[in-house]
Structure 1
Amino acid sequence: MDIKDKLAVDVLVVGSGIAGLKVSIELAKEGKSVLMSTKTQLCSGSSFYPLKASLGTQVTKNDEDKDLFLQDIEDVSHNMHDKDMAKIYIEEIKDRVDEFEEIGIQPYKLSDNRKACFANHGRTIYMLRDWNKIRENVTGILENYSNVTVMERSVVISLIKRNDKIIGAFLLDKNKELILIQCKAVVLASGGFGNIYKHNLNPNDVDGSGHILALEAGASLLNLEFIQFIPGFTTPKYKTLFGEHTLNYCEDFVDDSGNSILDEILPEGLSKEECLEVRSTHGPFTNSLVSKYFDIAMMKQIMKTRSEEGFELIYNKALYENESDFYTIYLNWLTERGINLLTDQVKIAPFAHASNGGVQVDHFGKTNVAGLYAVGELAGGIEGANRLGGNSTGACMVFGKRAAKDCLAYINENSFIEIDSQEELNKLNESMKHFSVHVDHSLTPNEVIDSIRDIMWFNGNVIRDEQNLLSAIEKIEELRKSFNISQFVDNVKDRKSAFKARNFIMLSKILLQAMLERKESRGAHYREDYPSEDERFNKRLFISLNDHELKLEFK
C-alpha cells in the first residue's frame, strides 16, 4: 500500500453515533479541529439503528432516587461494574439530557415513571426517536463548524504511537486509499461488536474494530464475556426486535411439530406461566433470574438441530385488547412493518445485541495510553454482568462530555509530533505479517468473515461450555492459518474487508478465551458446565496484548 494523502487535525474521532457526536461538537465549540471518521454515513452505529419506535434514556428522578438508582445498577452488575462511574452517571445525567438538542436530538419526557429493563424502581425516562430528523439536524449543526470534517465510508485501520503517546492514525477513505492522519489525540467511539455474530441486532459497522485499535495501541479490554443476547424475529420479518412484555399474553413456545420447548427443560417447581411472566420483564438473557430457561431452551434446541429458523410463540388474542401505551406503541410499530402477532407465524431466536464490556477507561474516558480515549458502548465500566436498560444513550452523553473536557486539556498541553511516513508504513506492513500466512489458496476475506460469524453464533451464544469453546478456538486458528491478508490489501477493492477479516480473527479468539476463562455463570455469561455463580470469580477479567500474545487476568 502507498499513502495517498496526509491530513492534520487536533483530534480524530472514530464513530458518529451519539458518543462520537457529543465529543466532536464539544471539541468543535472550543475551536479545535476535528476529523470524524465513520464507516457508513453521518449518524451511524447502534445509536442510529432503531430496533423499535424509540430509545430511552434513564435519568435520576431526584435526590432521594440517587441511592435507589445506584442500588439498581449494583443489583444487576453482580460486582462487575465501576462503582465510581455509576455514581458519576447518576449525578450528571440530569444535566446531560438537557444537552441532547446541541447534537440534534429532541427527546420527549414520559409523563410517568417507568422501570427500565432490570430496574427495581421506576424513574424518569426520556425517549429518542425520528432518526432521519436527527440526522438532518446534525447535518445542519455541523455546517456551523468549519473546523469539523466528516469522512463517510472510511475505516481507521491502525493507530500511530511514539514514546507511548498517540500521534496519528492510518485510515482507508471512501475510495479505499490509504490516508495518514496526524493528530494530538484519538477518541474511539465506534460501538460494540455485535456484527461478529451471524444473527445480531446491529448494523454492519458495529464490528469491534475499535476494540482491536485500542488493544494494539496498548490499551486493555475488560468484561468482554458479558454480551447481551436478545430474542429477535426470524420470521415474519427477520432481525426485528421482539417485545418481551408481550410474553404476558403468550400461551406457549413451540417447535415445528407444535411441541413446547419449555416443558422438558423447566426444573421441578417452576411453572411455564411463572417463567414467561418473569421473562416478560427484561429484554436480554440473564442467568440471574429463573426466566433464563426461556433462552436456554431455544439455544439447546438450536445446538441440537443446527437449525436457525427459531421457535414459534403462541399468543392469546387478549394481547391486542390491552390499550396501554406500553403495548400499543410497540404493536402499532409492528403493524407499520406488516407484522401481526396473532395472524402471523412469529418465530424468534437469540440475537447478539450489546457488549457490556469494552476498553478499560477512567472516569474521563482515558485509556492507559496517552492521547487515547474511548466512549460509548466501546468503553467498559458502567455496565457489569447485566446492563441496566436506559443507561447506554445517557452514558454516551455523560462520558462523552467528560472525555471531551479532558481531551481539550490534553491537546492544549501537547504539540503535533512529526510522523515519518515511510517508517510508519513499514510498521503497518510488519504488523500484517502475523496474518500473511503463505498458502497456495488463501481464504478470501468474506469467507473468513462468514465462517467466524457462524462459529461465534453457534459456540459463543447464550449457552457456553469448555468443549464447544475450545472447538471454536481451534476453528478460528485454522482460519488464521488459511488467510493471507497481504494478498488482499494490495488489491484496493479488497482492503476494507481484508482488515475486517483480520480484526474478526483477533476479536473472536479474544471473546472465546474470555468466555473460557470465566468458569462460572454470572449475569449475561452462562456456562452450562459451571451453572452457578462462584465467589472465586468475583473479579473483572482484563485482557491485554503483547507481541501478538493475549494476557487474561482477573483483578
Structure 2
Amino acid sequence: MDKIKTDLLVIGGGGAALRAALEAKKSGSNVLVAQKGIGSTAYKVAETAGYNAADGQVDPLDNIEEFYNDIIRAALGMADPRLVEALVNEAAPSIKFLEELGVPFERDGGKYLEVVGCFAVRPRMHIIKGHGEPIIDALKKIIRRQQIPVLNRVMVAKLLVKHNRIAGAVCLNLESGQIFAVECKAIFLGTGGAGQLFRWNHNPVDITGDGYALAYRTGARLVNMEYMQAGLGFTTPVRSNFNNWIWSGYPIVKNNSGSSFIEKYLPQSITVQEIMDAKSGHYPFSGRDASKYIEIAIHREIQSGGGTPNDSIVIDFAPLLELDSAVLPDHLVIKKMWPMTRDYLISKGVNLARDRIEVSTFGHAINGGLVIDVNGMSTVEGLFAAGEVAGGPHGADRLGGNMLLTCQVFGARSGKAAAGFVRDNQPVDINDNLLAGEEKELKSFFNDQGDFSLPALKKQLQTLMWSNYLVVKNEYTLNQCLSGLKQIENNLEDAQVASPAELGLRLEIKNMVDTARMMCSAALLRKESRGSHYREDYPDIDANYGKPIFITENNDTMHITFGSY
C-alpha cells in the first residue's frame, strides 16, 4: 500500500476543518487536508446564518457571563462547563479574525445587526448573509495562499490507532479507487454531523456520520448522541430552513386536502396562536415548551396520511404578505429578519402569493459527538475534533448562532494544540501487514453481483430514521429503528459494489448505521424528554436523568452509561 507522510491529517472541508488546518500550519506543522468532495463547501441551508458574541453593542446588559448562562440554561445539564467558558471568552475575538479575512457581518446603522437567537434571552446573534458560505470562501483563500495541500474526492475508511495513540489513516480515492495510507502524528476530525440519516435534511449528501463512526471504532468516547436537532424546512418550491421568526406572522398551516389540522393535536388548554408565539423563539424542535406541538402535529399529520406526496404540509403566507414590519415593536425578531427572508425567497423565484409552498420536518444538527477537552483533544491521544462532530459545547438544546462559532473557536484551538502535540511526540509505526489486511478487506467489498442496491439501502435507512426517530419517538419506534438498522447492515454484506464511488457509498452507509445505532441506543436509555430529545412515552423532564450519556466501543461491543465530564 502506498503511503503519504505528514504531521497532521485534517479530515473534512468545512469551517472547523479549514480553521484547524490554518492554525496548525501557522504553528509550524505539515498539514494535509482530505475531503470527500471537490472544494470546501458550506451548509447553505438558509438565507442567513447567526454567529454569537456578547459584545454588548445592541444590549448593553449583555456580557460574557450572560452568554455563558444562556448556553448552560439551554443545555439542561448536558454541556461541559469548561468548553462553554472557552467558547464565550473567545467569541468576540473570532469575529474580529473573520472580519479581517473579509467576512461581512450585517450592520444596523453604526452597530452590528444582532437579534435574539434560539433559546437566548438577549440579542447577541450577529447576522451573516449567505449562511456559512462567506466564512468558507474566506478560509479557502487563505488555505490556498498558505499552500496547504488538499486531497479532493478522498474518503477516510479507517483511523489507525496503536496503544490509544493515532498512527494514521487508511484512505480511498473515490475516483481512481486507489487505497493508500497516511502516516501522521495527529488527526483532526471536521466531518460535520449526520443529517443524511433522515429522509428530509439540510445537509450535503456527504454528511453521513463519518467522524462519529470512525472515532467510535477507535474506542473514543462520545457524548449526547441522543440530542438530534429537528426543525422545519421548505421542501418545495425551494429547499431552505423555515426560520422561526416566520411564526410571528401567523402563517396558515394546512394538510394536503386544504384543511387546518394543528388543533386536533393540541391539549385543550393551548391555542394555535400560543404555540406559534412559542415557536417564534427558537428554530429547533424542543420539548421544553409548547412550541413542540408544531412539529409533533406536522409529523403526525404526514404519518397519518394527511401530507402531500412530498411528505409535507402546505403553508399559506397570506398573513405575512399583509405584514407591515415598520410598525412592529423593535423587540420582535421578525421586524428585521422578515424582509431578508421575503427577499431571499423572491430571489429564488418563489411567488409567495401564488405558489404552493410545502414544509416538512427536517434533520438539522446533532448536539453531541466526541468528548473533547478545551483544546479539542479526544480521549484518543492525537485525535482532535471540533464543530458538529464534537460534543460538550452544547447540550439538550443549542443556542442559535453557536454552531458556526464553535467551528471557529475550537477549530482554532484544535489546530494550535495539534501542532503542539506533533512537536512533542514521535510518530507511531504502522505495520505493513496490518495495512495489507486493511486493503484486502476494502477490496473484498467489491461485488458486482450483489442482490441489494446501495442507493435503495440508503433510502431505506433515511425513511426508517425520519419516520421513527426524528420528532416523535418511543420505546417501540426506537426498537423498530434498531431492528431495521440491523437488517440494513446485514443486507450491506450482499450489496452491489462495482466502482470506487460505490465502495465509498458502502462505507458511508456503514457509518450511518453505526451512528444511528448510537443515537437510538442513547435515546432508549434516556427515559425522559429533555430539550431536543422527546419521547412521547416519557414526555416530561426527569431529574433522575440529569447526567449526560457516554458511549464507547470495545471488542465490537457498545458500552453506554450515564456519567460526568
What is aligned with 1:514? 522
Please, which moves more after superposition, 475-484 or 313-322? 313-322
Which residue of structure 1 lines up, in the alignment, with residue 332 of structure 2?
none
Amino acid at match of 2:311: E
2:233 aligns to what? 232
Gaps of 5+ in 2: 327-334
Residue-by-residue CA offset, 1:47-101 (whole Å, 9 max, x unaligned): x121222212110225962222122112211111111211111111111222225
Worse overlay, 506-515 or 286-295: 506-515
State the aligned residue count.
544
Cα pair distance change 1:447/1:251, threshold 3 Å: closer
Amino acid at match of 1:361: I
Cα deviations across residues 227-280 of structure 1 (Å, max 9, x unaligned)? 11110112222x322122122222532212332221112112211111111112
**Aligned residue identity for 2:470:** N
Contact 1:15–1:190 (CA<8 Å) still a contact in 2?
Answer: yes
SS at the partner of 1:114? strand
Specify which of 61, 67, 87 is matched with residue 69 of structure 1: 67
Q: In structure 1, what is the Cα distance between the partners aligned to 2:140 and 2:252?
A: 47
Seen in structure 2, the aligned counterparts of structure 1 residues 407 and 134 have a Cα distance that, compared at 3 Å, is closer
Contact 2:453 2:496 in 1 (8 A): no
Residue in structure 1 matching 2:34, options 13, 33, 37 = 37
Change (3 A) 1:440 1:318: closer
Partner of 2:213: 212
Following the alignment from structure 1 to structure 2, what is the Cα–Cα distance between the partners of residues 133 and 279?
28
1:412 corresponds to which residue?
Answer: 423
Cα distance, 1:402–1:72 mapped onto 2, change above 3 Å: same
CA distance in 2, matches of 1:171, 1:336: 41
Q: CA deviation at 1:406?
A: 1.6
Whether the aligned pair in 2 keeps the contact of 1:118 and 1:282 (CA below 8 Å) is yes
1:543/1:235 CA distance change after superposition, 3 Å: same
Q: Counterparts of 1:90 and 1:124 in 2: how far apart (Å)?
A: 13
What TM-score, normalized by structure 2, do the two folds share? Answer: 0.90
Write out aligned runs for 1:215-294 (5 A). 215-237=216-238, 239-294=239-294
Match of 1:155 in 2: 155
Residue equivalent to 1:476: 485
Instruction: Report the CA distance between 1:419 and its aligned residue.
Output: 2.1
Tell me, in whole angstroms, the C-alpha distance in 2 between the residues paired with 1:322 and 1:423. Answer: 65
Q: Describe how 1:289-300 pairs up with structure 2 within 5 A.
A: 289-300=289-300
Aligned 8 A contact 1:439 1:483 in 2: no
- Which of the numbers 543, 548, 551 marks the counterpart of 2:556? 548
Contact 2:302 2:313 in 1 (8 A): no
Partner Cα distance (1:176, 1:162) in 2: 26
Query: Deviation of residue 7 (structure 1)?
Result: 0.7
Which residue in the other structure is 2:197 paired with? 196
Preserved contact between residue 255 and residue 306 of structure 2 (Cα < 8 Å): no
Residues 1:18 and 2:21 aligned together: no
Taking the aligned partners of 1:132 and 1:73, their CA distance within structure 2 comes to 25
**CA distance in structure 2 between the aligned counterparts of 1:25 and 1:104, rounded to whole angstroms:** 16
User: Where do 1:74-153 residues align within 5 Å?
Assistant: 74-101=72-99, 105-109=103-107, 111=111, 112-123=113-124, 125-127=126-128, 129=130, 137-146=138-147, 148-153=148-153
Q: Are 1:119 and 1:388, in contact at CA under 8 Å, matched by a contact in 2?
A: yes
Residue matched to 1:170: 170
In the TM superposition, residue 445 of structure 1 has moved relative to its aligned partner by 2.5
Secondary structure of the structure 2 residue equivalent to 1:232: strand
In structure 2, what is the Cα distance between the partners aligned to 1:452 and 1:92?
39
The one of 313, 323, 347 equivalent to 1:311 is 313
Q: Which moved more, 1:455-464 or 1:510-519?
A: 510-519
Does residue 499 of structure 2 align to residue 499 of structure 1? no
Residue of 369, 391, 396 corresponding to 1:358 = 369
Moved more, 22-31 or 118-127: 118-127
Secondary structure (helix, strand or coil) at the match of 1:57 reads: strand
* Secondary structure, aligned partner of 1:480: helix
Q: Secondary structure at the match of 2:289?
A: coil
Give the drift of 1:344: 2.0
Q: Distance in 1 between matches of 2:383 and 2:494?
A: 27
Q: Is the 8 A contact 1:386 1:523 kept in 2?
A: yes
Q: Secondary structure at the match of 1:499?
A: helix
Instruction: Please tell me the root mean square deviation across aligned C-alpha atoms, in Å.
Output: 2.5
Distance in 2 (alpha carbons) for counterparts of 1:337 and 1:140: 27
Distance in 2 between the 1:67 and 1:418 partners?
Answer: 46
> Partners of 1:8 and 1:306 in 2: how far apart?
56
Q: Matches of 1:224 and 1:202 in 2, distance apart?
A: 18
Q: Is the 8 A contact 1:485 1:498 kept in 2?
A: no
Deviation at 1:305, TM superposition (A): 2.2
The 1:129/1:368 distance shift into structure 2, 3 A limit, reads same
Shift of 1:163: 2.1
Distance 1:113 1:104, change over 3 A: closer
Do 2:249 and 2:323's aligned partners in 1 also have CA atoms closer than 8 Å? Answer: no
> Which secondary structure does the structure 1 equivalent of 2:116 belong to?
coil
Tell me the distance in 1 between the aligned counterparts of 2:12 and 2:342.
Answer: 32
Residue 329 of structure 2 is matched in structure 1 by none
| Pairing 1:54–2:48 present | yes
Distance in structure 1 (CA, Å) of the matches to 2:200 and 2:418: 36
> Aligned residue for 2:469?
460
**Is the deviation greater in 295-304 or in 330-339?**
295-304
1:161-186 deviations in whole A, cap 9, x for unaligned? 12221011011124231121010100
Cα drift, residue 532 of structure 1 = 0.7
CA distance in 2 between counterparts of 1:101 and 1:169 reads 35
Partner of 1:343: 354
Classify 1:133/1:189 alpha carbon distance in 2 versus 1 (closer, same or farther; 3 Å): closer
Return the offset for 1:302.
Answer: 2.2
Tell me how far apart the structure 2 counterparts of residues 164 and 23 of structure 1 sit (CA, whole Å). 22
Offset at 1:301? 1.6
1-structure distance, mates of 2:124, 2:263: 36
Report the secondary structure of 1:472's partner residue. Answer: helix
Are 2:118 and 2:283, in contact at CA under 8 Å, matched by a contact in 1?
A: yes
Are the counterparts in 1 of residues 49 and 132 from structure 2 also a CA contact under 8 Å?
A: no
* Fraction of identical pairs, as percent: 28
Contact 2:492 2:506 survives alignment (8 Å): no
Asked if the contact 2:27/2:416 (under 8 Å) is kept, the reply is no
SS in 1 for 2:361: strand
Tell me by how many angstroms 1:444 deviates: 3.1
